[in-house]
Amino acid sequence: MPLPIWPASVPHEPSSRNIAEPFRKGLESEMAAGNVRSRRTATVGIGVVDLTIRMTTEQFQTFKAFVRDTLSHGTADFEMPVSDLTGCTVRRVRLRNGGQYQPSRAGNRIFVSFSLDVWDL
Count of domains for the chain: 1
Decide if 7 is inside a domain. Answer: no
Q: Does any domain span residue 4?
A: no
CA angle 15, 23, 67 (to 5 degrees): 50
Q: DSSP state, 25? A: P
At residue 23, the pLDDT reads 67
Which of 21 and 75 is assigned the larger pLDDT?
Answer: 75
Mean model confidence pLDDT for the chain: 88
Contact 73, 97 (CB under 8 A): no
Q: Given a cut of 80, is residue 35 above it in pLDDT?
A: yes
For the full predicted model, state whether its pTM sits above 0.75: yes
Say if 101 falls within a structural domain.
Answer: yes
**Residue 73 placed within a domain:** yes
Under 8 Å between Cβ of 88 and 81: yes
Task: Report yes or no on 70 lying in a domain.
Answer: yes
Residue 66 DSSP class: I
**Domain ranges, residue 90:** 16-27+36-119
What separation in angstroms does the CA of 69 have from each of 22, 48, 50?
A: 29, 24, 23
